[in-house]
Amino acid sequence: MSRQPIGIILTILGATMMVMNMYLFELSEYYDVIRRLSFISFIVGILMIPTYAKPKRNK
C-alpha cells in the first residue's frame, strides 16, 4: 500500500475523530487526549497525500 491511500485514510479518520470529539467527549476526561491524537493524525494524513512527479516531455 502506498503512502497516498494511507494519508487519505488518516485524514478522514482524524477529521471524523475531531467532529465526534466535539459532540460526544466534550465533558469527558479524555477530551484533550483524543483532540491531540485526532489533530496529529489529520496533519500526518495531509502530509502523506500529495504525490509530486516531474512532468514528462514528449519529444
Give pLDDT tens digits for 27-58.
Answer: 778 888 888 999 999 999 988 888 766 667 77
Distance of CA 11 to the CA centre of its chain: 2
If you compute the radius of gyration of the chain from its CA atoms, what whole number of angstroms results?
16
For residues 32 and 38, give the distance between their C-alpha atoms in angstroms, rounded to a whole number: 10
Say what the pTM is.
Answer: 0.73
C-alpha cell at 21: 470529539
